[in-house]
Amino acid sequence: MPERLQKILARAGVASRRSAEQLILAGRVRVNGETVTRLGTLADATVDRIEVDGVKIDAAPEQVYLALHKPKGYLTTVTDPAGRLTVMSLCPEVPGLHPVGRLDRNSEGLLFLTNDGKFTYAVTHPGHGLEKEYRVHVTGVPDRHVLEKLESGVELDDGPARCRVRLAGRTNSGAVLDVVVVEGRNRLVRRMFLAVGYPVIRLIRTRIGPVLLGRLRRGQWRFLTRSEVHAVLSQCGLKGIRIAKKNN
């Protein structure tokens, strides 16, 4: 994610932000071989080559992987022009941190955040088939034929969709089901149940691949462990991504 060049230099320990501005004004900083003298110039520490007096600096932020229990009412986005609450307000400030995939505003549960684009690609690529599991509360109690229809596939406006589904319990107004999907289409589970006549009242994501929501309370986050990150990548068919020391 692009940042002001002086901020990148300060984070890399080259100088304070004010001193970094003086380095830029003096023409001592180059980005991708071009001398930069304008304050406010943006660069991306993860992809751009940044040099001070001809010496390349290692300004890429440490890779971080978080698990968050997203509460209802938060947008899964970095910023919102309308000033609504986003999941970023629940997490530590980490350069480049962003949500991995979608979880709509009225849904709850497990959400990954990272500043590692390769990890985001691994988790969200539809071809990798990473499972996401949800505890779903619906109005009414679907019978066996409805569950079979959900598993065989229902037609949505953006194409057919299917899931694995199991009746987990009943409530006064309806049923509780465990649902597993491998796609990441917007509001997919809600739209599938609406298509078969059972509107979703509450939706909680309980698992992404091998990682469980567990006892993480609403609004709380934790670092994913090294073994969890490796397990996620393994299920996606990918390996070899460097993992930050924080993720032990």
SS (H, E, C) 221-239: EEECCHHHHHHHHHHCCCC
Q: Who's near 131: CB < 8 A, 6+ residues apart?
A: 180, 181, 182, 207, 208, 209, 235
Continuous segment of H or E residues that includes residue 117? helix 117-124
Q: How far apart are CA 193 and CA 174, in angstroms?
A: 13
Q: How far apart are CA 11 and CA 100, in angstroms?
A: 24
- Please check whether residue 122 is in contact with residue 232, taking contact to mean a CB–CB distance below 8 angstroms: yes
- Angle, vertex CA 97, rays to CA 108 and CA 110, nearest 5: 20
Q: Who's near 245: CB < 8 A, 6+ residues apart?
A: 62
Residue of 44, 48, 104, 178 with catalytic role: 104
Q: Examine the residue annotation and report whether 104 is marked as an active-site residue of this protein.
A: yes
Active centre residues (catalytic): 104
